[in-house]
Structure 1
Amino acid sequence: MKRDEALAPGLRIGLLGGSFNPAHEGHLHLTRMCMKALALDRVWWLVSPQNPLKSEAGMAPLAARMKAAQELVAKAGERRIAVTDIETRLGTRFTIDTVRALKTQYPGIRFVWLMGADNLLQLPRWAKWNELTREIALAVYPRAPFTLRARLSPAAAMLKAVTLEPSDASLLPLVHPPALVFLGGHEHPASATAIRAGQVSLGSHKELKPNR
């Protein structure tokens, strides 16, 4: 995403936040799955300067994580995926603040928050999470072994009345939040934790070992 990019009102953009420490094939898989199921025009990878719920220990520098993610996306030829450090430029730390800032900066864009089943379980730990659900629709992609537990989670129970059927997932960007949909699909085995345990350096994507 270019810093001064002009975006036409009505575009459907998925927001995938995370440390991307490092970005891997699993991120590509879930992004493609979400783009297809939700009929998204683009997906922005929001590379976080530091996740408030994660330790700084073992966290690669932001510049290195950005570079690895950009190289991965370029190698995959995914023109609809934009890797951005916009949270750093906005000065936001929590998702609620990021979402509000983006909605103010890009009025008319139909944003959707993309999250894994594991993150839905943690949602009640996020800052102002109840307010977040009223700011942006949520799409949850499957991630083993958390998928079933996520469907039975307190957050899922709270949003049960506004949960769309998977067959209606493409309507999510058009729905006024709160709204939630659980996406179905293959659960990719790649894990950033496993990659970090086996990698030599984050400086080159070629040195990242996939979790097989």
Structure 2
Amino acid sequence: MTGGYVWPRLPAAGAGQRVGLLGGSFNPPHEGHVHISRLALARFGLDFVWWLVTPGNPLKNRGELGSLEARLEACRLVTRRMPRVRVTSVEADIGISRTRDTLRFLLARRPDLRFVWVMGADNMASFHRWHAWREIAEMVPIGVVDRPGSTLRAASSPFAARYRLARLPETRSRRLADAPPPAWAIVHGPRSDLSSSEIRRSGLWPRDRMENS
């Protein structure tokens, strides 16, 4: 602690371990997030998946965003029986919301870990809209989990076209964390079509949890 500033605490992980980073609003978290995490752990050979609960996604409507505390609480509840999934508010702790800046921080703080950015194929299809997306792609390997209705859009996305030579075959997906970036792989398996937006529209995510703190 220096000058009243508390250095953010990251989830525990040992040197050399493979850590997947699943970022999102988690507004609310649901079994689709759990499904992606389980598949990523198994298919990308990861030791842990960290859920990076963002203070706000610049590409999404913040008017529908639940409080950070409510979303963190919900994430911990959903993952309570998943010891290899860790929930963290590091982005809010260090005052950033851009993935590029988050990765810079994590790589500087834990250069001994092998990070993999994990995302669903629906996010890959729009990845070119992210701030500094090329820089992100060249900072850490990217693991993509197939999602219903997104397979073709992901495969024909600007990201897939630009980094087509950096794609690992699915049979080598467990080696992704060891590959120097840019590197990416997409894995297929049982798919979940759950989405946070559908849950909010259904009314299953209580309005009192959607009030901004």
Task: Normalising by structure 2, report the TM-score.
Answer: 0.90
Aligned counterparts of 1:5 and 1:161: Cα–Cα separation in 2: 33
Q: Which residue of 2 aligns with 1:112?
A: 116
| Over 6 Å off, 4+ runs | none
Q: Which residue of 1 aligns with 2:139?
A: 135
The amino acid that maps onto 1:42 is: F
Q: Which residue of 1 aligns with 2:13?
A: 7
Query: Are the aligned partners of 1:22 and 1:202 in contact in 2 as well (CA < 8 Å)?
Result: no
* Residue deviations 1:26-50 (CA, integer Å, cap 9, x gap): 1111100010001100000000100
59, 71, 77: which one pairs with 1:53? Answer: 59
Q: Which residue of 1 aligns with 2:206?
A: 201
How many angstroms does 1:78 deviate by? 0.4
Percent sequence identity is 39
Secondary structure (helix, strand or coil) at the match of 2:63 reads coil
Aligned counterparts of 1:193 and 1:124: Cα–Cα separation in 2: 21
65, 74, 81: which one pairs with 1:68? Answer: 74
Between Structure 1 and Structure 2, how many residues are aligned?
201
How many angstroms does 1:168 deviate by? 0.2
The amino acid that maps onto 2:28 is: P
Aligned counterparts of 1:136 and 1:146: Cα–Cα separation in 2: 23
Q: Which residue of 1 aligns with 2:150?
A: 146
Aligned counterparts of 1:25 and 1:103: Cα–Cα separation in 2: 29
How many angstroms does 1:3 deviate by? 2.0
The amino acid that maps onto 2:53 is: V
**Structure 2 residue 22 is matched with structure 1 residue 16:** yes
Closer, same or farther: CA 5–45 of 1 in aligned 2, 3 Å: closer
Closer, same or farther: CA 130–4 of 1 in aligned 2, 3 Å: closer
For structure 2, the residue ranges without an aligned partner over 5 or more in a row are 1-7
